Amino acid sequence: MASHRKSRPTGTRVAGIRTPALATAALTSVALLSQSANAAPEADDKPSLEEVEKKVDDLYRQAGSATEKYNAAKEKTAKQRKRADALIDDVAKRTQKLNEAREELGSFASAQYRTGAAAPDTATFLLADTPQDYFDQTQLMDRMTGRQKVAVDDYIAQQSETMTKRQEATESLEALTESQGDLKTAKATVQRKLADARELMSKLTAEEKARLAAIEKEKQEEAARKAAELARQQAAQQQAQEEAAQQDGGSSSSGSAGSGSSTSTAPADSSYATKADKALAFARAQIGKPYVWGAVGPGSYDCSGLTQAAWKAAGVGLPRTTYDQVNAGTTVPLSQARPGDLVFFYDDVTHVGIYIGNGMMIHAPKPGTYVREESIYYDGESAIHSVVRPA
């Protein structure tokens, strides 16, 4: 007799219970969702606060580098524009003289043609591209008076010089166009880097910004400690030098006691100290003014614009960019840095400040900040590139 029982669907057992296939699929989905939920934190690519800080600092440094390239391109463009303008003016004057020489020759040719003293081809030569070749071929020079020959020589010389100056003007304009392209590229790079930095900062929460400020404060406190240590080292070095000078002075005095005379000499570098005081006085007067890339004052500055203006106030001309300022003086050890010296930063020499003593400097740090006094260790000891005495 046939069985009327329905066959049970196959499935899997969970805790000893056979489950239908549909339930098995549901359990599988739940398991996968659970795995995804557990894996979500690991898949989160959001950078840490320290990584954001490093990225922002890097972007500001890249913007600083692009700013110095912009400054160099701007200075080069200005010089090339001045040269191009001068050449164009020169070409215009020479063209005028050439036209005057052409008119004089034309009057000679017309007079000769009217009197029959020369063949009609005398006037035709005025249309020639190379007058000298025309004269050689037709022997026209043999039929000219002394005054006419002088006029022809003058015309040939004027034409040659005008063509040369026109070529120089063309090349100068091409160089100017290239420099303007470099200027535009550098400007776009600065703006892009600053925009990227602002975008990163805008994504931080209020709590993250507060933590970032705390990290920055710790960095500044460490920089201040390093500055104080450098100040102690420099003070000890100065004291040792003064004691050595006193000993030398005492020996000199005792040696000349019999003559009843004494010698007093001013420091050999007093001239530098006087200039440095003027440069520092100017720099201090700029404290609080905003950093603006490419600015040279008087309302705002970038880093090299500030140092250039400060030393200009002391009667010393510095180049515009950090790349050139670093070579505009004598390099000295950091331990021997004196007020007025220029302190350069980073391997690519893209930042500069003016040393005021005790491990401190005045500088225009970066966009969004103001000219201020700060430790030369503001970005760590490794960031210091060199110290240069500019006068």
Q: Are 9 and 21 in contact (CB under 8 A)?
A: yes
Q: Provide the residue type at 353 as one letter.
A: G
- Alpha-carbon distance of 367 to 194, in angstroms, equals 8
- Alpha-carbon distance of 142 to 3, in angstroms, equals 139
Using alpha carbons only, what angle is made at residue 95 by residues 91 and 101, rounded to the nearest 5 degrees?
A: 145
> Which residue is it, tokens 């950091």?
334
Q: Which of 352, 347, 357 is nearest to 382 (CA)?
A: 347
> Which residue is it, tokens 């950090």?
322
Q: Are 360 and 375 in contact (CB under 8 A)?
A: yes
Which one-letter DSSP state was computed for residue 349? T
Residue 200 tokens read as 């990163």
Bond into 298 cis (ω within 30): yes
Which one-letter DSSP state was computed for residue 372? E
> Which residue is it, tokens 């007799």?
1
Active site residues: 303, 351, 363
**Helices and strands: H and E segment counts in the chain:** 9, 8
Residue 265 tokens read as 């000499």
- Alpha-carbon distance of 74 to 191, in angstroms, equals 16
> Which residue is it, tokens 């052409």?
102
What are the Cα distances from residue 303, in Å, to 219, 249, 297, 357? 21, 42, 11, 18
- Alpha-carbon distance of 42 to 37, in angstroms, equals 10
Q: Which residues pair with 218 in a beta bridge?
A: none
Q: Show Cβ contacts of residue 359 under 8 Å, excluding neighbours closer than 6 positions.
A: 226, 227, 228, 229, 230, 231, 234, 375, 376, 377
Q: How many Å from the N-terminal Cα to the C-terminal Cα in the chain?
A: 120
